[in-house]
Structure 1
């Protein structure tokens, strides 16, 4: 993945976390992401820095989704 694509993905994930907080009044644990100090607008940062930020942000979002999931979905198709 190119750096520009990674920065774009970083921005999209940041928007997802913002919308989740706004819509669901949820608290996503983004301590790891915040500690990195990398934002989608930090274009001068390295590709590796943005990759680390994407993984931390995605991890916080998915962890929240796992905690919120209450209904088990069958693995079979309808």
Structure 2
């Protein structure tokens, strides 16, 4: 995936998170994403940083959906997203 496509996906996931927040469906904390200090508008950030932000957003959105409708997302999907976040964070630290 090209960097500009990553940024578009990043923006789309931010829109989803904002939609969930506006409808009071967010009960968990989004501090993990906020602490990254990267938004889709930060085009100077690397592709790996945007990828990591995408994984973090996917994990948060999956948690929100799972909290709303319990067991709507299989545990292995949530666990895989957590693993992806950890691996992408380690990759960024090594780079």
When normalised by structure 2's length, the TM-score is: 0.68
Query: 1:5 matched to which residue of 2?
Result: 5
Q: Which has the larger radius of gyration?
A: 1
Higher relative contact order, structure no. (Cα contacts within 8 Å, ≥ 6 residues apart): 1
CA change 1:64–1:2 in 2 (3 A) is same
RMSD over equivalenced CA pairs, Å:
1.7
> What are the equivalent positions in structure 2 for 1:1-78 lying under 5 Å apart?
1-70=1-70
CA change 1:36–1:4 in 2 (3 A) is same
Question: How far 1:26 moved relative to its partner?
Answer: 2.6
CA contact (8 A) 2:25 2:68 kept: no
Aligned pairs, how many?
72
Q: Which structure 2 segments of 5+ residues have no match?
A: 73-95
Question: How far 1:44 moved relative to its partner?
Answer: 0.4
Moved more, 20-29 or 34-43: 20-29
Question: How far 1:64 moved relative to its partner?
Answer: 1.0
When normalised by structure 1's length, the TM-score is: 0.82
CA change 1:58–1:71 in 2 (3 A) is closer
